[in-house]
Amino acid sequence: MIRYALTCAKDHSFDSWFQSADAFDKLLSSGMITCAVCGTQEVKKSIMAPRVRTSEDKPLSAPASPAEQALKELRAKVEANSEHVGTNFAKEARAMHDGTAPERSIYGEAKIEDAKALVEDGVPVVPLPFGPSRKNN
C-alpha cells in the first residue's frame, strides 16, 4: 500500500491510499480518482515528505482497551504501595501470618504448590492478574 498526498485543480488537498504506484496511474487515467472535496477528476500528486521510521520511533499500536488500562493502573498501585519480595513471597507471607515478620503489603512470585499451601493454612493471599515486571538492560 502507498499513500499519496493529492491536489485537485481547485487547490483542494487530500490523501488517499493505493495498492501500488501502477494502480494509482491506472485509476487516474481511467478517471476513477476524484477530489474528496469537490469531486473533480482533475487530480494530481502533491509533493510530500516520505515517512521514514527510525530506530528511535516507537512501534504504532492501538490504544489500550479499558481492561488493559485498568490492569495498568492496578499494577501501578500495587507496585507503589507494596514491597516486592520476589520468589520469597510464600516464605514472607507465612512469616507475617505466624507473627515472626512485620505485617506489610507484599507481592511477589510463588510456586503453585506453595500458594495452595498458604491458602489451605488460612494465609490471606490472592493471585494478581499480571506477571512480574521485567527489567530491560
Residue 66 is predicted with a pLDDT of 80
- Specify burial of residue 43 (Cβ count, 10 A radius: 0-12, 13-18, 19+): buried
Q: Is 86 inside any structural domain?
A: yes
Q: For 52-93, what is each residue's pLDDT tens digit? A: 666 666 666 667 778 888 888 999 999 999 999 999 999 999
Domain count, the chain: 2
Q: How far apart are CA 12 and CA 38, in angstroms?
A: 8
Domain match, 70 and 116 both: yes
Query: Who's near 19: CB < 8 A, 6+ residues apart?
Result: 1, 2
Identify the residue with better confidence: 108 or 47.
Answer: 108
Domain match, 83 and 116 both: yes
Q: How far apart are CA 64 and CA 66, in angstroms?
A: 7
Domain match, 41 and 73 both: no
Percent of the chain predicted with pLDDT > 90: 39
Name the pLDDT band for 51 (thresholds 50, 70, 90).
Answer: low
Identify the residue with better confidence: 135 or 79.
Answer: 79
